[in-house]
Amino acid sequence: MSDAAREAAEAPAHIDFGARRLHWLKNVPKPVAARSAARAERPAPCRPLQRLARLTRKPAGGTSIS
């Protein structure tokens, strides 16, 4: 990815950019400076166990007879 494209995208947080390197492209007489781009591997945020317990469904009260 070129620096101009990266600036236009406003450096999205979900993408990690590599170091700027020269790349030789087919049918282009001079090397092109560009960066590699890959999806950012971010760990999932941890939630306290009590907050997770509140998100779960509570069983219906009483018993059912089928």
Burial class (CB in 10 A: 0-12, 13-18, 19+), 1: middle
Q: Is the pTM of this model over 0.85?
A: no
User: pLDDT per position in the chain (66 positions), as tens?
Assistant: 667 777 787 767 778 888 889 988 899 999 988 888 888 887 766 667 777 677 766 666 666 665
Rounded Cα distance between 47 and 66, Å, is 38
Distance (Å, rounded) from C-alpha 1 to C-alpha 37?
Answer: 7
Beta bridge partners of residue 34, listed in sequence order: 21
